[in-house]
A and B are shown apart, each in its own frame.
Chain A
Amino acid sequence: MNARWLIAKYMPDLTRREPVNVGVVLYTDDGVLSRFRAERDGKIDGRSARWAGSLDNYKAWTDYWSELTAGRGAASWDVLLHDRPESNYVVEVGGERLFGNDATDPHALLDRLYAWLVDDEPSDTALSAAELSESLISGLPIAARVQRNYRLELPTPDIVMFDYRYDNGRVNLMQSVSLTLEGARSWSALHAAAWSFEQAKNHPVDPHRGQRAIGLVKLRPEDGELGRQLEVLDEQVDEVIDVGDEDAAASRLSVLLTA
């Protein structure tokens, strides 16, 4: 996958010319993604944009960049770079990288670029489902007794892997599931996890003990398909926990694993 990105910058004072990075526009083979400072669910949260000289103008510029990239796709690269007046807001070339045949999640790449180039502190959105799950499990009192990378041997010459197994009278099998992407990639991740949980249901670890399946999911904003994906996962697991909401996830997981 080819990836290149632009950095959106803000100069409060055109005389001093001290730009601050306020966003990333990422171009990949899958399309164009963007993320800007103070952006929440596609809108600018004014409470987090008090650094801007004018909130209205910052919104105007982020809307402009978003609209242009949504409308023109890859062609917006040249427009954004060449059609720019002298202004407090500019975009500049940030970099590019060739990822070869490795599967790379553009959303995860955008999160990492944003955390690297824009954020003062990394936020949960920069971490993957696996990283958030590990952070969650590691913070539990029972963390030392949680088995990682559990291999469930099936009667057929097949093996199913789960990220975590914890026994507390019943066998708890936990798997991180990334639903951050739209379209085919999230469906693939979902189907892989659902199949694993189905196999574990059909071939329990210990038939003399109860078994609980827990999906540790990282979500994207509802887009019409996320709900359906969660329904599919719900059919195969006993509990779905949103690891993006760290406090709630830790609280719920504690209850489940210490019960």
Chain B
Amino acid sequence: MHLEIFTIDAFGPAVGGSATAPRYCQLGGVIKLDTDAAPYTAANELICARLASMIGLPVPPGTIVRGDNGETGYVSLRFGRAGEQPPPVIPEHFVEDHPDLAAGVVAFDCWVGNTDRHNQNLAYSRGNLPPVVFDHSHALFGGGTDTSHLNRPEDPRVNGSIARLLTSDAGLRLYAERIGSVPQILVQLVIRELESQEVLSPEDANLAGEFLETRRGKLLELLQSAGEPLSAVQWGMNL
């Protein structure tokens, strides 16, 4: 897995006495705030970033923040060389050069119910920039206030230009197995932490937890039942 290296915006004073000479510093980030129309943005981003990291997807690290007026937000470390945003991905290049990772993105999106994967929330430039997966504000709870889809965990919810370019099931099987191997307790820890910080209500935390656990256990089945978005995939036998 690629390790993204981030740029420090400013160095600050030393932090007490220590053999490793730590210093304060400032790093650039991108913040998204919860709104009345999109009250789950921060939760979506944090949960997805943590889960993606568990299965080895290159998602920039981030954390929950509180604004000056108490509003909840999510800050993702600003990736991109010199802090500059990379161009939209060319899906064909991404799939050709990183077929397993591309399949991993599709499998992950299926797991977290993300139907908003497009060329502008993937970064990759052949020969220039490594892959980065970002922007999950519309995943899991969704980009609005309607969360009824979480009551339908059997719905495949597969979409996007990457899915349509996949032809082999190898990467999908690899990541379905990897997702299936994620201990349930680790997923629950992420969700319950948000509940304890009052980012999620107990009801929403339960809903998300059950959705993710149900899909984690039958991800390959969901992918195989996705229909048109994965119609080019040559599925082998399930052993």
- Residues of chain A whose beta carbon lies under 8 Å from any beta carbon of chain B: 53-54, 56-57, 59-61, 63-65, 67-68, 83, 85-89
Contact yes or no, B88 A83, CB < 8 A: yes
- Going nearest first, the 10 A-B pairs with the smallest beta carbon separation are A54-B81, A60-B125, A64-B87, A53-B82, A54-B82, A60-B128, A87-B85, A88-B84, A57-B81, A59-B128
Residues of chain A with a CB closer than 8 A to B88's CB:
64, 83, 85
Contact yes or no, B85 A53, CB < 8 A: no
Residues of chain B with a CB closer than 8 A to A83's CB:
88, 119-120
CA distance A60 to B80 in the complex (A): 11
- Residues of chain B whose beta carbon lies under 8 Å from any beta carbon of chain A: 80-88, 90, 93, 119-120, 125-129
Residues of chain B with a CB closer than 8 A to A61's CB:
86-87
Contact yes or no, A60 B83, CB < 8 A: no
Chain B min CB distance to A55 (Å): 8
Residues of chain A with a CB closer than 8 A to B87's CB:
60-61, 63-65, 87, 89
Contact yes or no, B128 A56, CB < 8 A: yes
Contact yes or no, A56 B90, CB < 8 A: no
| Prevailing SS type, chain A contact patch | helix
Q: With A60-B128, A60-B129, A63-B125 given, is the CB distance from A85 to B120 under 8 Å? A: yes
Q: List 5 A-B contacts (CB under 8 A).
A: A53-B84, A60-B128, A63-B87, A67-B93, A86-B85
Q: Which B-chain residue is minimally distant from A68 (CB atoms)?
A: B90
Chain B min CB distance to A42 (Å): 13
Chain A min CB distance to B95 (Å): 14
Q: Which of A60, A67, A68 contacts B86 (CB 8 A)?
A: A60
Chain A min CB distance to B97 (Å): 13
Residues of chain B with a CB closer than 8 A to A85's CB:
85, 88, 120
Q: Which of A57, A59, A63 contacts B80 (CB 8 A)?
A: A57
Chain B min CB distance to A25 (Å): 14
CA distance A81 to B230 in the complex (A): 30
Q: Which B-chain residue is minimally distant from A11 (CB atoms)?
A: B84
Q: With A57-B81, A86-B85 given, is the CB distance from A63 to B120 under 8 Å? A: no
Q: Which A-chain residue is minimally distant from B118 (CB atoms)?
A: A83
Contact yes or no, B90 A54, CB < 8 A: no
Contact yes or no, A67 B90, CB < 8 A: yes
CA distance A106 to B90 in the complex (A): 27
Residues of chain A with a CB closer than 8 A to B93's CB:
67
Chain B min CB distance to A36 (Å): 13
Residues of chain A with a CB closer than 8 A to B128's CB:
56-57, 59-60, 63
Chain A min CB distance to B3 (Å): 16
Q: Which B-chain residue is minimally distant from A89 (CB atoms)?
A: B87
Chain B min CB distance to A132 (Å): 34
Chain A min CB distance to B192 (Å): 34
Residues of chain B with a CB closer than 8 A to A88's CB:
84-85
Residues of chain B with a CB closer than 8 A to A87's CB:
84-85, 87
Residues of chain A with a CB closer than 8 A to B85's CB:
85-89
Please give 19 more A-B residue pairs, beta carbons under 8 A apart, in addition to A61-B87, A89-B87. Answer: A53-B84, A54-B81, A54-B84, A57-B80, A57-B81, A57-B128, A59-B125, A60-B87, A60-B125, A60-B129, A61-B86, A63-B125, A63-B127, A64-B87, A67-B93, A83-B120, A85-B88, A85-B120, A87-B85
Q: With A63-B126, A63-B128, A64-B125 given, is the CB distance from A57 to B119 under 8 Å? A: no
Contact yes or no, B82 A57, CB < 8 A: yes
Chain A min CB distance to B137 (Å): 14
Q: Which A-chain residue is minimally distant from B90 (CB atoms)?
A: A67
CA distance A53 to B80 in the complex (A): 11
Most buried by B among A53, A60, A67: A60
Chain A min CB distance to B179 (Å): 29
Most buried by A among B84, B85, B93, B120: B84
Q: Which A-chain residue is minimally distant from B7 (CB atoms)?
A: A54
Q: Which A-chain residue is minimally distant from B130 (CB atoms)?
A: A56
Residues of chain B with a CB closer than 8 A to A60's CB:
86-87, 125, 128-129
Residues of chain B with a CB closer than 8 A to A89's CB:
84-85, 87
Residues of chain A with a CB closer than 8 A to B84's CB:
53-54, 57, 87-89
Q: Which A-chain residue is minimally distant from B93 (CB atoms)?
A: A67
Q: With A63-B126, A64-B87, A85-B88 given, is the CB distance from A56 to B120 under 8 Å? A: no
Residues of chain A with a CB closer than 8 A to B82's CB:
53-54, 57
CA distance A64 to B120 in the complex (A): 12
Residues of chain A with a CB closer than 8 A to B126's CB:
63
Q: Which A-chain residue is minimally distant from B119 (CB atoms)?
A: A83
Residues of chain A with a CB closer than 8 A to B83's CB:
53
CA distance A9 to B94 in the complex (A): 25
